[in-house]
Amino acid sequence: MSLSEIQARIHKAETNAGRDQGSTQLIAVSKVQPNERVQEVLEQGHTLFGENKVQEVAGKWPAFRETFPDTQVHLLGPLQTNKARQAMELFQAIHSLDRPKLANTIARLAQELGHCPDLFIQVNTGEEEQKAGVLPAEADSFIAECRALDLPIVGLMCIPPADEEASLHFSLLRKIAARNDVAGLSMGMSGDFEKAVALGATHVRVGSAIFGARDYG
Ligand SMILES: *Cc1c(COP(=O)(O)O)cnc(C)c1O
């Protein structure tokens, strides 16, 4: 599907939900996609992209940024503490803050670097063992802990379990955000972004619906 079709579907979902058109940001998830496809989307004027791996971004984005300097790239995948510095230099936002050790490292580096990307706290709404994120029951205290470190917490992020109704998880994330006064909600992917918009997503992360299936070959 084209970028403009996805944008149109987002606008329709916003209108249906009584939200302002343009109140949801579309993150085009370009991980693993061929450079030509990413280039096409850049040439259509899109400026917000999502990636999962620090190494992949270090390799491919510096060249794109020379031609498209206003591009923002958000980190969506898990972040190892020893890659935090590199991530803070490469990304304008990190959606996967999920543990005290990482929060402390980012806070220390922010002092040293004099800047910090926007941060989303990932919540493991499905309480899945293999998945990153703080548990819902620990979210309030972790948010408070991050704020005490002066970290710029702009939102919460979740990836619902593949076999469950995503809306239940989007609602839970929204509830946790509301009671903690967190404004941003990073939720919704290719298969369910309209549901996420209906439940208040401020950022949807759409990959394959824009670029086609990923070929991990
Ligand atoms: C890959 C990925 C996406 C995009 O998934 P699609 O199903 O291709 O839209 C969104 N969020 C995260 C965290 C991802 O890893």
Establish if 100 belongs to a structural domain: yes
Determine the atom of ligand 1 nearest the C-alpha atom of 205: 10
Check residue 208 and give its pLDDT.
96
Establish if 203 belongs to a structural domain: yes
pTM of this structure = 0.97
Which domain range does residue 95 map to? 3-17+24-211
Q: Which residue reads 């903690």 in tokens?
A: 180
Check residue 117 and give its pLDDT.
98
For position 43, which CATH number holds?
3.20.20.10
Going from the first residue of the chain to its last (217 residues), give the mean pLDDT of each consecutive group of 10, the final group possibly shorter.
Answer: 94 98 97 96 97 96 96 98 98 98 98 98 98 98 98 98 97 98 98 98 97 84
* Best residue among 9, 30, 76 to mutate for probing ligand 1, ranked by most atoms within 8 Å of CB: 76
Residues lining ligand 1, CB < 6 A?
Answer: 29, 31, 52, 76-77, 159, 189-190, 205-209
Distance CA 195, CA 193 (A): 5
Determine the atom of ligand 1 nearest the C-alpha atom of 208: 8
Establish if 102 belongs to a structural domain: yes
Output the CA 112–ligand 1 centroid distance in Å: 32
**Atom 14 of ligand 1, residue of closest alpha carbon:** 76
The burial of 72, by beta-carbon neighbours within 10 Å (0-12 exposed, 13-18 middle, 19 or more buried), is given as middle
Indicate the residue type of 209. Answer: A
Spell out the residues 6+ positions from residue 139 whose beta carbon is closer than 8 angstroms to its own: 121, 123, 156, 176, 180
Check residue 166 and give its pLDDT.
98
Check residue 214 and give its pLDDT.
85
The count of structural domains within the chain is 1
Establish if 216 belongs to a structural domain: no
Establish if 185 belongs to a structural domain: yes
Check residue 81 and give its pLDDT.
98
For helices 166-179 and 136-148, give the axis angle rounded to 10 degrees. Answer: 40
Check residue 36 and give its pLDDT.
95
Establish if 149 belongs to a structural domain: yes
Establish if 196 belongs to a structural domain: yes
Check residue 215 and give its pLDDT.
83
Contacts of range 125-129, beta carbons closer than 8 Å, 24 or more positions apart: 125/158, 125/160, 125/169, 125/172, 125/173, 126/160, 126/161, 126/164, 126/169, 128/161
- Helix/strand/coil (H, E, C) string of 32-43? CCCHHHHHHHHH
Check residue 1 and give its pLDDT.
80
Among candidates 10, 4, 2, which has minimal Cα distance to 205? 10
Check residue 176 and give its pLDDT.
98
